Structure 1
Amino acid sequence: MGIMVYLLLFATATIFFVIIFQVIFGNRFVVRDRIEEISLLYNVQSDEDEMRLPFVERVINPVYQRFVNALGNMTPSSIKEKYEHMIMQAGVGRKYTVNSILSIQFMLAIVMGALIYLLFRLLTGQGSILLAVLFGALSFFLPYVRLNSTAQIRQKKVQSALPDLLDLLFISVEAGLGFDTALKKSAEKMPGPLSDEIKKALDDIAKGRDRQEALKGIIRRTGVDDINTFITAVIQSELLGTNIATMLRTQSGVMRQKRRQRAEEAAMKIPIKMLFPLIFFMFPALFVVILGPAVINVIENVGSLF
């Protein structure tokens, strides 16, 4: 049993080192791999040059990449599509892929489960497998929860910035600018996730991508219903040949009204959200301050009778 504990400790430390190493140097490896793929088209690397590479790049990183690829191949396509949409909506597509997120989840579950098992074994002399499995399962969902939270925060920022951007866009079009130029100027004046997505769509259009597909790409990358409504109205306006300024005026009014309604809804939820802090934190303190002296007097009077 002692040998198993040491082996488990060694495996946990190794996986933990790999996780930290990939978090710190993962982006450099991605860039380096792309450069190597391009360089291999023109140059053939000799075995002697390969042996000059550090041990981590020659052994650990290839093993890790094979593990990531194998884990991605075993994952169902429906789950991979869900992760892809979440990565796009979170805006972290340049840093993470579906396989990297899955590998982080898997290794984090193993590390946390093993650490909990070893900790209880050192403290109590007996490890708890059930508790280790429970903590491992909870740790497995932590990256997913973090990614989902990042996506939701980004969606709220996009949703909040859309009415102001529409106002600025409407004013620019009314001033005589073309729609694409006005969209570019408005995005430059309002930095944020929405502006980044608009700039990406405009770059795709400049590179020759179909205009409607580039605009629909904003919908896929944000996942916000208001963006869907706006982009759909822009596409229909272009297809039907209607006045773009009139459409922008209508969309601006609708989006400002929706933002006002969301603010009113959030204000109506405040009393309910304040109920639990009042009950568990403020009411006990008030009871101690108000009823405390009375209780002390009652105890003293009852004690004097005896």
Structure 2
Amino acid sequence: MLGISNRESNDPESQRDGLYGSMHTIKQTNANIPSRIIGSLLCLLITLFGAVLTGFTGHILVAFEQTSEIFGRYVLFGGIYVILTCGIFIVLVGLLGFFSFIHPNRCISITTCVGIIVLIVITTCTSLIVYMYPKTMTNLIYYRMIKTFPNYGQNMQITNAWDVMQSNLRCCAIHNRGWSDYNQTVWYKLTNTDIHRHDELIPRTNLYYHFVPVSCCLTKIDGLTGFPLQIYRNKKRCQNWQYGPPTFLNGPHNDALYYRGCFNLLVDYINAYAEYMLGMGLTVVSLLIILFLLLLHAELKNNPTDLQIYDTNLLKSNHNNYYCVDNK
């Protein structure tokens, strides 16, 4: 009869080595827990930021869809689509990273690391483009405004786009104090044409003579919310006032009319927020680098623990085990 006996259970040294190896494995696992917790929280933060960025850019695409008729879809929506893509990609990378920290998996971890590297490159390039946008695209914006503005009142899409921009930005025409810009538009000729003499305009002193459209008129501000209301301060004085603007470039201040031009105001907005966008992009890049290092650290700590053949104590314990074979 063949009998096999294992001396491992009766060998104190083997038991001690095996217990030490198990304790060493548990110690490595426990030491890896803080980095995984921090990484998981960081992934949730990045995912939340990506979701907010995606929702914000989506709102801009819907709310300012008509404005693209002024600047062109390439100028306005090109950068917005890039930011929207970055937002969606940030959400995906954040979710993959969170899953990698909660349930360690080498394939998902490698995919997440590659995604983080790609996202770092895209975010850095996008931030630099947004920061350089005012210096490179100002002339193109001005050219598009000059080109589309004369069609105000004839092309419905362009007319609605200018009305939306003037109402939201609280500006009028292209230049500062540029109420006379409307003299070159189709709207100006159609509105002020004499119905009896189609080739002439009604007198400028006529109360029905309009120098600017309604979208140039100042609206009241809600004292509680701070948002503009659809209530005009004085529509008649805004469109025609015989003591000052918009009839004359100078004169008493007309508090029912916007004085800032849309081009100047838009450039000021872009310059004001370009630095914030650059700072936000660099912050995201920094968080992604930290996330990449945490994920790499967690994987390097995790793999030797999972594959116990790398534990020298367990190898030593297995070497001390031997078997006796008795033939009976």
- TM-score class, shorter: under 0.3
- Per the normalisation by structure 1, the TM-score is 0.27
Query: Comparing both structures, which one devotes a greater share of its residues to helix?
Result: 1
Task: Answer 1 or 2: higher relative contact order, Cα 8 Å, separation at least 6.
Answer: 2
